[in-house]
Amino acid sequence: MAVPTFDAIVVGSGITGGWAAKELCERGLRTLVLEAGRPIDPARDYVEHVPPWEMKFRGLGDRKALERDQFIQRHCYACNEYSGKFFVNDRDNPYTFDPAKPFHWIRGRQVGGRSIMWGRQVYRWSDLDFEANARDGLGVDWPIRYADIAPWYDLVEQFIGISGEALGLPQLPDGKFLPPMALNCAETVVKEAIAKRFGGERVLTIGRCAVLSVAHGGRAACHYCGPCERGCITHSYFNSIGVTLPAARATGRLTLRPYSVVHSVMYDEKRDRAAGVRVVDAQTREPLEFRARVIFLCASTLESTRILLNSKSPRFPNGLANSSGELGRNLMDHVMGGGAGGIIPGMEDRTVHGRRPNGVYVPRFRNVTAPHSDFLRGYGFQGGASQAGWRRVDSLPGFGRALKEALGTPGPWRFGFYGFGECLPRPTNFVELDPNTVDAWGIPALRIHCEWSDNERKLLHDMSVTAAEMLEAAGAREVEPFVEQNPPGLTIHEMGTARMGRDPKTSVLNAHNQTHDVKNLFVTDGACMASSACQNPSITYMALTARAAAYAVDAMRRREL
């Protein structure tokens, strides 16, 4: 039987795979999207409106099943009784690490990937970020600057719909925003106090998020039910199932094949091109091959790198497109969990109506205009204010009628700032294939070597100091700074390992996410990142993907590919 042949193959159907599929299909390519996991039917699989009493454990989850099957995934807040099905089975999907240096790899294998349960926060990078490596000499210089990506941010934002407030800050460029969601009363108090005390250096704004504040592109506005990570039947937040994959399908050029675990990319030595991909059918275990003129790896940071490491040939014995030896190196994740909490007094007669799937944001203010003496780069805060209702009641004294009445009464306004900091690129944080471990489909597993450095630890500490300062400026009571000890990976902003760069000797990808070594092979997910900044990265991956797809199609038209 002839090997099925397409114009393009996209590996992965999530945040970046959906964008690659849309752009390649719309630009005329017959595109095969290979997804390792199962198909998702929103009507059947989304559970955002299922009340707790219809869940066996009322949302607490089947603890023993989690301990047995999802002992890594369960560390993610969103891997609960409702959305746990969107996270992988850890026994089928092993990876290894030194127990003294844990890395929590949180993964989703289904059509839509992690775009189903992602955090939905979107922040543009600026030249403060794209110039960071060149400025302090760490890693390699980005081969692009803000001007290269800005129009692609525009394109992505306008298509998927981002609600947010324009601020005019140079370190956090404004985007094409839908109206911002509202702050609640306590957040307004803190915002005004910060503006007064820190005079524009620190700014609190509503989160910029991929949730529709008004109807957009045929999708309904958010109805404020709350738990986006369980899916959204009205497609009011962005995921690939509801937004990019339908656009790709509308062209008539999309073929989406679930249950297709990509084993490796085939390399044609004679023609010096990627010829196609080898696949293991997840259900039948049958080995399959698919061919195409151009291949986009969008399988997620570590999966794309794993596929390349597993694609060995005489020309590339250490992994495809790895003549630099940089493939697998410079793994990063944002360091999270320095911050502070406190009670904002007053407003006892006020509460919120609706569950807003968004919080507040404080853009980076360290090392923006003046260098800080203790650490490089910076961090931003997410957070917000809320009142506990019945969830605080078990800690109140007493029992009986008065305790029961407290169940329906909101408690004080509690405000929390939670920091996300930049991780420096270091070659000592790396992944390789583990020679002794394979997954359920016989594909070699990764061994991950990753740990924080002093710079990340100093950022965490500074987060706790500056968060407490802002709460104190707002007149908060019982201010409690904290510094959590989270392992890398758990922020789920893992990136790097196939970095972009100007020099083929020190980087894997060029300025267009094209591998230096193999011209018809592109990597457009988080693997491409040369530094991490401190902003949530998905919007940047999407913009880079759309940009790379346009470049690839143009190059094919020019017969360069």
Partner 1 sequence: MNRRELLGVLAAAVAGPAPGWLSADGLFARGRTAHRRARGRAFQVFDPHQAETVAAMAEMIIPETDTPGARAAQVPEFMDLLVAESASDEERASFLRGLGDVDTRSRDAFGVEFVAATEAQRVAILAGLDAEVQALRQAGEKAEEHFFQRLKWLTVYGYCTSEIGATAGLRYETLPGSYDGCAEVRASRAAPGDF
Region from 175-183, 243-251, 462-470, 484-492 binding partner 1, contact rule CB under 8 A:
175-183
- Of residues 166 and 403, the one with the C-beta less far from partner 1: 403
- Of residues 47 and 150, the one with the C-beta less far from partner 1: 47
Return the residue of 31, 70, 171, 184 that touches partner 1, per CB under 8 A: 184
- Of residues 271 and 391, the one with the C-beta less far from partner 1: 391
Region from 58-66, 100-108, 319-327, 478-486 binding partner 1, contact rule CB under 8 A:
58-66
351 binds partner 1 per the rule CB under 8 A: yes
63 binds partner 1 per the rule CB under 8 A: yes
403 binds partner 1 per the rule CB under 8 A: yes
- Of residues 64 and 558, the one with the C-beta less far from partner 1: 64
- The distance of closest approach from Cβ of residue 59 to partner 1 in the complex, given in angstroms and rounded to an integer, is 6
Region from 46-54, 172-180, 290-298, 529-537 binding partner 1, contact rule CB under 8 A:
46-54
- The distance of closest approach from Cβ of residue 209 to partner 1 in the complex, given in angstroms and rounded to an integer, is 13
- Of residues 187 and 422, the one with the C-beta less far from partner 1: 187
Report whether 38 contacts 239 (CB < 8 A). no
- Of residues 150 and 406, the one with the C-beta less far from partner 1: 406
80 binds partner 1 per the rule CB under 8 A: yes
409 binds partner 1 per the rule CB under 8 A: yes
What are the C-alpha distances in Å from 169 to residues 240, 331, 421? 30, 29, 18
Return the residue of 383, 410, 412, 488 that touches partner 1, per CB under 8 A: 410
- The distance of closest approach from Cβ of residue 207 to partner 1 in the complex, given in angstroms and rounded to an integer, is 13
Report whether 165 contacts 206 (CB < 8 A). yes
- The distance of closest approach from Cβ of residue 259 to partner 1 in the complex, given in angstroms and rounded to an integer, is 31
Return the residue of 44, 270, 401, 558 that touches partner 1, per CB under 8 A: 401
Q: Rounded distance, CA 166 to CA 196, Å?
A: 19
Region from 33-41, 94-102, 341-349, 476-484 binding partner 1, contact rule CB under 8 A:
341-349
Q: Rounded distance, CA 122 to CA 279, Å?
A: 33
Q: Rounded distance, CA 12 to CA 112, Å?
A: 8
Return the residue of 68, 404, 477, 557 that touches partner 1, per CB under 8 A: 404
182 binds partner 1 per the rule CB under 8 A: yes
Q: Rounded distance, CA 332 to CA 51, Å?
A: 38
DSSP letter string, 274-321: EEEEEEEETTT--EEEEEEEEEEE-S-HHHHHHHHHT---SS-TTSTT
Closest by CA to 197, choosing from 189, 185, 205, is 189
Region from 51-59, 144-152, 160-168, 319-327 binding partner 1, contact rule CB under 8 A:
51-59
Report whether 146 contacts 196 (CB < 8 A). no
350 binds partner 1 per the rule CB under 8 A: yes
- What the block records as the tokens of 41 is 């039917």
- The distance of closest approach from Cβ of residue 511 to partner 1 in the complex, given in angstroms and rounded to an integer, is 41
List residues bridging with 441 in a β-sheet. none
Report whether 549 contacts 152 (CB < 8 A). no
- The distance of closest approach from Cβ of residue 401 to partner 1 in the complex, given in angstroms and rounded to an integer, is 6
Closest by CA to 334, choosing from 417, 419, 421, 418, is 421
Return the residue of 150, 167, 195, 225 that touches partner 1, per CB under 8 A: 225
59 binds partner 1 per the rule CB under 8 A: yes
386 binds partner 1 per the rule CB under 8 A: yes
Q: Rounded distance, CA 447 to CA 96, Å?
A: 5
- The distance of closest approach from Cβ of residue 220 to partner 1 in the complex, given in angstroms and rounded to an integer, is 11
Give the 3-state secondary structure of 83-152: CHHHCCCCCCCCCEECCCCCCCCCCCCECCHHHCCCCCECCCCCHHHHCHHHHHCCCCCCCCCHHHHHHH
Return the residue of 1, 43, 53, 558 that touches partner 1, per CB under 8 A: 53
Chain center to CA of 145: 21
x-or-dash pattern for partner 1, window 417-456, by CB under 8 A?
----------------------------------------
What are the C-alpha distances in Å from 110 to residues 155, 197, 286, 332? 26, 47, 19, 24
Q: Which helix H or strand E contains 431, and what residues bound it? A: strand 430-438
Closest by CA to 204, choosing from 422, 463, 462, 383, is 383
Return the residue of 99, 137, 252, 408 that touches partner 1, per CB under 8 A: 408
Q: Rounded distance, CA 546 to CA 51, Å?
A: 38
- The three-point CA angle 552-555-561 to 5° equals 90
199 binds partner 1 per the rule CB under 8 A: no
Return the residue of 134, 166, 214, 388 that touches partner 1, per CB under 8 A: 388
- Of residues 49 and 519, the one with the C-beta less far from partner 1: 49
68 binds partner 1 per the rule CB under 8 A: no
Report whether 328 contacts 432 (CB < 8 A). yes
Q: Where along the sequence are the contacts to partner 1 (CB under 8 A)?
A: 49, 51-53, 56-64, 74, 77, 80, 181-185, 187-188, 222-226, 347-356, 386-391, 393-395, 397-401, 403-405, 407-411
